[in-house]
Structure 1
Amino acid sequence: MNNDNNIDFRDLWKKQSISQPDMKDLLLRVSKFKKAALRSLWIMNVLLFATSAFIIFVWMYYQPQLISTKIGIIFTILAMAIYMFVYNKLLANYKDIDSTQSNQEYLQKLILIKKKQQFLQTKMMSFYFIALTVGICLYMYEYASRMSTLGAGLTYGITLLWMLFNWFYIRPKQIKKQQNKINGLIEKFEEVKDQFEL
């Protein structure tokens, strides 16, 4: 009777096997997350590099006269370069995720990526949008000054509306999508970790 009261439930819990399909599914989700994140990073690099090259081509080909236009071009390219420099720091974190890691290592990597994504989505994205807006407005001034008041107003109005639409609608949706993906993975790894600790 005394022996029945000394059952070590903790030891029994540790000996139970976690269902393999769940772990395989989780590792598959991590692999998909990594591939999607790397693909997104490379696409962003290509797009921003191509945009910068196009802006430099426009600068060289059309030879703007006003200093405001040149400052606007520099602001725009600088905003993209700084954003991409910080964004590319995530590349090493994504590449560090591999199938040989323990659950705890996966969890730590995902939490680190989440923190870096939050920095990108808040401070860096704010800097990027402000610098981009200032750069585009300065760039457009030379050409808008040659237009009628109505034309210049429409040009600035449409451009600023597009930027506001991006800031208040597209950006929050992308942030929520990214956060949902990484939060889902973190929750699953925490569940697995909790199972081992009980």
Structure 2
Amino acid sequence: MQEFDHIQSLWQSHSIEVKISSEEMLMQAKKEVNSIRNKSILNIAGMLLSFVAVASLLVWFDFQSWTTHAGIFIFLAAIAVTTLMLYRGHRLISKNDFTTHPNEFLVNLKLYQISRFNLYNKLYWIYAIALSLGISLCFVEILAYFETWLWALVILLTFSWMVFCSTLVRKAVVKKEKERIALLIEKFERLASQFKEQA
């Protein structure tokens, strides 16, 4: 037993310092930045696609009620505002090259982090309320054609889906993105300090 304690104390006292070169850290950071940029482009493309899909409802269907038209316009406004916010965030992360202007990029990365925080914590609720209002107005005309049990089921499923997305999915996405951006900021701060030491 004493031998085990002795081995355990040696193991705990032995610390390994992992040094990563500036080049390796820069390559990792470049990969992560490209991943964030690509994800940002996909988000914007998805929002534009949903804008076109919702707008096409006005072309392909002859809605009679003003509430449906108002609901669709509220939908389109919410999608357009969110898309513009996503685009502004994308410009922050992609407007300069981090290999030539690391300090400027670090400032923009911190602004991007704040932008994402605002998107997920403030704008998200405005977006969710607008979508809920738009759906409600659209349902006035659409659900009139359904039987009572069917429109109750549609409303229940829609409400459940929005609650699920607003709680569990949103929290998981926010946590993952927050950790990812914070790690990237930390890497750029370490890179900047390494470059200062080498200078």
> TM-score, normalised on structure 2?
0.80
In the TM superposition, residue 106 of structure 1 has moved relative to its aligned partner by 4.0
Q: In the alignment, what sits opposite 1:170?
A: 169
Q: In the alignment, what sits opposite 1:113?
A: 112
Q: In the alignment, what sits opposite 2:152?
A: 153
Query: 2:47 corresponds to which letter in structure 1?
Result: L
Q: In the alignment, what sits opposite 1:76?
A: 75
Task: Provide closer, same or farther for how the CA distance between residues 183 and 55 of structure 1 changes in structure 2, counting only shifts above 3 A.
Answer: same
In the TM superposition, residue 84 of structure 1 has moved relative to its aligned partner by 0.5
- How many percent of aligned residue pairs carry the same amino acid? 23
Asked if 2 retains the 8 angstrom alpha-carbon contact of 1:71 and 1:138, the reply is yes
Q: In the alignment, what sits opposite 2:98?
A: 98
In the TM superposition, residue 109 of structure 1 has moved relative to its aligned partner by 2.6
Q: In the alignment, what sits opposite 1:126?
A: 125
Aligned mates of 2:45, 2:144 — CA distance in 1: 32
Task: Provide closer, same or farther for how the CA distance between residues 139 and 22 of structure 1 changes in structure 2, counting only shifts above 3 A.
Answer: farther
Query: 2:148 corresponds to which letter in structure 1?
Result: T
Aligned mates of 1:26, 1:76 — CA distance in 2: 43
Aligned mates of 2:116, 2:34 — CA distance in 1: 16
Asked if 2 retains the 8 angstrom alpha-carbon contact of 1:34 and 1:97, the reply is no
Structure 2 unaligned regions, length at least 5: 1-18
Aligned mates of 2:105, 2:26 — CA distance in 1: 10
Aligned mates of 1:121, 1:130 — CA distance in 2: 14
Superposition misfits of 4+ residues, deviation over 6 angstroms: none
Offset from partner CA, 1:73-105 (integer Å, 9 cap, x none): 001111000001111012221112421124x43
Task: Provide closer, same or farther for how the CA distance between residues 166 and 149 of structure 1 changes in structure 2, counting only shifts above 3 A.
Answer: same
Task: Provide closer, same or farther for how the CA distance between residues 105 and 46 of structure 1 changes in structure 2, counting only shifts above 3 A.
Answer: closer
Query: 2:35 corresponds to which letter in structure 1?
Result: A
Aligned mates of 1:190, 1:40 — CA distance in 2: 23
Structure 1 unaligned regions, length at least 5: 1-18
> TM-score, normalised on structure 1?
0.80
Asked if 1 retains the 8 angstrom alpha-carbon contact of 2:40 and 2:90, the reply is yes
Instruction: Count matched residues.
Output: 177
Aligned mates of 2:97, 2:133 — CA distance in 1: 38
Q: In the alignment, what sits opposite 1:140?
A: 139
Aligned mates of 1:135, 1:62 — CA distance in 2: 17
Asked if 2 retains the 8 angstrom alpha-carbon contact of 1:97 and 1:109, the reply is no
In the TM superposition, residue 185 of structure 1 has moved relative to its aligned partner by 1.8
Aligned mates of 1:126, 1:62 — CA distance in 2: 29
In the TM superposition, residue 34 of structure 1 has moved relative to its aligned partner by 2.1
Q: Secondary structure of 1:145's partner?
A: helix
Superposition pairs for residues 29-108 of structure 1, below 5 Å?
A: 29-95=28-94, 96-102=96-102, 104-108=103-107
In the TM superposition, residue 130 of structure 1 has moved relative to its aligned partner by 1.1
More off after superposition, 134-143 vs 69-78: 134-143
Task: Provide closer, same or farther for how the CA distance between residues 22 and 129 of structure 1 changes in structure 2, counting only shifts above 3 A.
Answer: farther
Asked if 1 retains the 8 angstrom alpha-carbon contact of 2:25 and 2:191, the reply is no
Greater RCO (CA < 8 Å, at least 6 residues apart): 1
